[in-house]
Chains A and B, each alone.
Chain A
């Protein structure tokens, strides 16, 4: 809501700034009011967000891991080993039949269990290629 108010003030200031005639802009007070209100709201909002939210952000590691392990997009890790088409087939099979990627991959016979465990490492997917 702070952002919405500041965006509104932005329109008011731009309009007021365009309203000068000859030697004098005569919308000065409303420009000043809106700029100061924006600054105040933003500063208060940033501090409040900092103190009451950002400073206390703690990840729920268990949930994050569950969501990660359940994500069908991890199949992208197999792209460079078995190709896009087969990887896509694995994820679609897992989705349609409510399987894990592991089970779908093995059922389709595109990888061995060992290969799957070696290649399917989310922690290796967060940086650009480092392996040769």
Chain B
């Protein structure tokens, strides 16, 4: 989180900018990454497992759900452990996109 430091009184533009870069925004962004991103990652994980795991279809689907719950919790931890809010989003969305791409290649959402 970077904080703009200026000795003079902040101008309107600076004040407006601080709405997007202030410490509260970082927390909000990370919270959204943890909840929305975390759920998205968990959902993609369950789909990925459902199509990628060997064995019976029903078992793969169930395994995906059991794993996705853990993934969701880990995503929330990552969102707040990452160095910046941008890292937090990247660390959640990139694996989600990767798994979604593989799942798509294996025939999901065809």
Do A and B pair up? The answer is: no
Which positions in B face A, CB cutoff 8 Å? none
Give me the interface of A with B, judged by CB distance under 8 Å.
none
